[in-house]
Chains A and B, each alone.
Chain A
């Protein structure tokens, strides 16, 4: 009797494993909207600029020069953000455009304009 119970639980475990595999396989394909990479990015530069500036404006630590944020605005000098704040702001930008900025790139981004340029060069941004 003991053996049959063991066998049954083994079978169940196997089935669960299978269904798990199946699930991960399907979700692997269907993450987010499907867009072909051959299609040009639908974002225009003006659009990106406006959205980045909106994110910067809604970032509550950016105190100085809040009224006139342009592509030339730098995070440290003009907005008075330290390195930790800059990281936080960039995470907010990532969230807005549904991307993940790699660490090496993010450490180099120092102004609004550079951020806009990076996003327009990233085909995954939307």
Chain B
């Protein structure tokens, strides 16, 4: 993280947290798991890739825009019902 000076670590972690929370809102298993995988992969990848501050800021803004799309789409996904896939565990009430 030392390469990213303009952006603080909490800022990036907060973005990651929001991304994961939003991904978990998807009702469809396929979308939900895909975006969780994508979040994990992208953040780790960028952590190693990014060398300059401008680069970091550009990526940060790109993910922020992605997050906005994700938020809208997760809301849309909540408007429809999806049948559970066979791979999904059935949640038992606590």
Q: Chain A: residues with CB nearer than 8 A to chain B? A: 83-84, 87-88, 90-91, 94-95, 100, 103, 106-107
Contact = CB atoms under 8 A, between A and B. Distances in A.
A103 B17 contact: yes
Interface in B2-54: 9-10, 13-14, 16-17, 20-21, 24, 40, 43-44, 47
Contacts of A87: 13, 16-17, 20
Contacts, number: 31
Contacts of A94: 21
B24 A84 contact: no
A100 B9 CA distance: 20
Nearest to A107: B10
B21 A91 contact: yes
Q: Across the A-B interface, give the 5 residue pairs with the lowest CB-CB distance, nearest first.
A: A87-B17, A91-B20, A103-B14, A87-B13, A87-B16
A108 to B, nearest CB: 10
Contacts of A90: 17
Contact of B24 (A83, A95, A107): A95
B25 to A, nearest CB: 11
A84 B16 contact: yes
Nearest to A103: B14
Contacts of B43: 84
Nearest to A94: B21
A107 B11 CA distance: 10
A91 B47 CA distance: 21
B13 A107 contact: yes
Contacts of B14: 103
Contacts of B24: 91, 95
13 contacts: A83-B1, A84-B13, A84-B44, A84-B47, A87-B13, A87-B17, A88-B40, A90-B17, A91-B17, A91-B20, A95-B24, A100-B21, A106-B17
